[in-house]
Chains A and B, each alone.
Chain A
Amino acid sequence: MSITVNDLSFNFGQNRVLKEISFTARGGELLSVLGPNGVGKTTLFRCILGLLRGYRGQICLGGTDIKGLGAAEMARLIAYVPQFHYPSFNYSVFDMVLMGTSVHVSAFSRPGREQAKLVDAALERLGISQLKERGFTRISSGEQQLVLLARALVQESPILVMDEPTSNLDYGNQVRVLTEVKSLVSEGYTIIQSTHSPDLAFMFSDRVLALKDGAVLGCGPPEEVFSEELIYALYGMRVKMESLYYDRVRVCIPKHIADKAAAASLVSNL
């Protein structure tokens, strides 16, 4: 299911956070949103999720304008994986994930056997079945991220929004989570994520949206959008962008380090 955003603007009081943003993510694509801290990525996501209502412009999910949709109708279209969950109370992993099915049960009842099966399947799929009876606060942050992802999966919505899914994870878990994300995309999910790692964004994304000062700086396939100039414009950091494996992978190396290394290797070759 596609996401289409047209001329989206959002103000917090006098402060213009988003300025006429337009982009499209086709169904079955992974769209990565890049931009410096405080650029409005979270605001953009909250608008798309229907959590912020006072925006101007248009947001369509699979051709449906989300303006005026209720919480339950939204939840059937789009699910949310937060950057971090601060638990007020400790629930078992099973109960946490089961909560994701709430939109499919009526207000006065609780999820039943059918929903429990969905939960088991989602835990199995993400390889965390052994955590089922553990308390959520007793597992590692990488495992917590996978639990939150499982909770979004059992919601059975075709679109997932992931707010910096890898920012709290060590390198191994970052790659593991993104590999799961990628395989979900190949199954037909549309996923929009924010990230601070250009290298990983290049490796995994189908499309990249670069935001600067609340406006779009570039949008398209990563090999078209990514350049040394873009990274400088986004983060104020000069980098050397190396292309590897016939441009399947691009790596950014901070310019001052790349220059020093190049000089050193030149000297040692003499």
Chain B
Amino acid sequence: MERDRRNTFIVAGLGILLLVIVVLSFGLGRYPVSAGEVLGIALSKIFPLEQFWADRTETVLLNIRFPRIILACLVGACLSATGAAYQGVFQNPMAAPDILGASAGAAFGAALAILNRCSSFTITLSAFIFSLLTVFLVYYFSKKIKGKSILGLILSGIVVGSLFSAATSLVKLVADPTDQLPAIIYWLMGSLAGAGSREIKFALIPMTLGLLPLLLLRWRMNVLTMGDDESRAMGINVNRIRLTVIICSTLTTAASVAVSGMIGWVGLVIPHVARKIVGNNYHHLLPASVLSGAIFMLLVDNVSRNLLTAEIPLGILTAFIGAPFFIYLMTRRGEYS
């Protein structure tokens, strides 16, 4: 019970930390904006305030930085939460959001749309639809595989995922190497540079629809990690809960990947960071994953847009930061690790 209270404080602390980083992030960027201006513009949306900043500052903050910061938080939170959820329902600490082929499908959808010279919003939409389609195919084939259902899902995920990866390669092969090919490759490396309010509006609904049930079902996810026989004997309808988690996670992952491109490692590493901080009980683990995912992604995106004059793709940064950190994490031991 004492641990319970401590973990509640930690989750609250992560929430405050996220807020602080969000506010600080507004001040970061090529175009200089002071903290006073950030505060002033934010407050002017609620209270009538005399404008002491340039119009251009407001445009940069509201139309460029605001959507990008929000989207970074959303994508990080979603990838991390679905990673944690999948680790539970597949009883597999190595599970990540793309274990059922969601990323491979999205990549193919985006590449196909770029090949057909679609608008940036159509690319997002196509990635989202193909992502959902891929996971549906994975689930459909897994039902035909005899034996353990978890193994069937993971196998089917690997097979269908690699099929779509091959299809993406094919699209790259026929793409115009002067403009289409770089666009595809850049999309595959992950970026939030194209983030606008339209992307937020598009992603917000599936993300919320997916995340809410996950948060509500978090005690049941604990029981699911006990294994199918044990959790069913404890009165849990294993198949129904697992399917619900898969559907919700697919919605959130597809929406995230569609707006951000391929961003690896977040969904694997951040849940494990959260496990180290609050333990494995999903009651605190899932909120902690959501918040740490948002914090991590926002920090990485800040580095991505400020470190060099050209933006560094997010997928590269998350791998460079995530992989060594994961090794560090795995070499540490604690009572609950």
Contacts and interface: CB of A to CB of B under 8 A. Distances in A.
Interface string A65-103: 000001110111011101001111111100100011011
Given A89-B280, A107-B217, A135-B336, A82 B236 contact: no
A110 interface: yes
B25 to A, nearest CB: 33
B176 interface: no
Nearest to B232: A71
B94 to A, nearest CB: 10
Nearest to A155: B234
B219 A92 contact: no
Interface stretch (B104-112, B116-124, B177-185, B221-229): B221-229
A113 to B, nearest CB: 9
Contact of A133 (B3, B232, B281): B3
B93 A116 contact: no
Given A71-B238, A95-B281, A109 B219 contact: yes
B337 interface: yes
Contacts of B1: 116
Contact of B336 (A49, A88, A91, A155): A91
Which of B216, B217, B230, B234 lies at the interface centre, i.e. has the most chain A CB atoms within 10 A of its CB? B234
Interface in B279-337: 279-281, 283, 335-337
B155 to A, nearest CB: 18
B49 interface: no
Contacts of A256: none
Size category of the A interface is 35 or more
Which of A74, A88, A133 lies at the interface centre, i.e. has the most chain B CB atoms within 10 A of its CB? A88
A154 to B, nearest CB: 10
A85 B226 contact: yes
Interface string A93-128: 001000110110101111100001000000000000
Given A89-B275, A90-B336, A135-B335, A76 B233 contact: no
Nearest to A51: B229
B92 interface: yes
Contacts of B87: 88-89
Size category of the B interface is 35 or more
Interface in A152-196: 155
B93 A88 contact: yes
Given A85-B226, A85-B230, A110 B280 contact: no
Contacts of A72: 235-237
Given A92-B336, A102-B220, A138-B335, A71 B237 contact: yes
A46 interface: yes
Nearest to A73: B235
B91 A102 contact: no
A51 B232 contact: yes
B219 A134 contact: no
Which of B219, B233, B238, B280 lies at the interface centre, i.e. has the most chain A CB atoms within 10 A of its CB? B233
A102 B219 contact: yes
A79 B233 contact: yes
A95 B216 CA distance: 18
Contacts of B233: 49, 51, 74-75, 78-80
A102 B236 contact: yes
A46 to B, nearest CB: 7
Given A99-B226, A116-B1, A89 B93 contact: yes
A70 B237 contact: yes
Contacts of B279: 91-92
A85 B1 CA distance: 24
Given A85-B226, A88-B91, A89-B275, A75 B219 contact: no
A39 B234 CA distance: 26
A156 to B, nearest CB: 11
B235 A90 contact: no
Contact of B234 (A75, A87, A88, A90): A75
A80 B225 contact: no
Contact of A75 (B225, B226, B235, B283): B235
B322 to A, nearest CB: 20
Contacts of B283: 110
B219 A100 contact: no
A42 B281 CA distance: 30
Interface of A: 46, 49-51, 70-72, 74-76, 78-80, 82, 85-92, 95, 99-100, 102-103, 105, 107-111, 116, 133-135, 138, 151, 155
18 contacts: A51-B229, A70-B237, A72-B236, A75-B235, A89-B88, A90-B335, A92-B3, A92-B281, A95-B222, A99-B223, A102-B219, A103-B236, A105-B219, A107-B220, A108-B217, A109-B219, A116-B1, A155-B235
Given A89-B225, A133-B3, 15 more contacts: A70-B237, A71-B232, A74-B233, A74-B235, A75-B233, A75-B235, A80-B234, A88-B92, A89-B87, A92-B336, A99-B222, A102-B223, A107-B216, A108-B216, A135-B335
Closest 9 pairs between A and B when the two form their complex, measured CB to CB: A75-B235, A103-B235, A80-B233, A110-B219, A88-B91, A89-B280, A72-B235, A108-B216, A135-B335
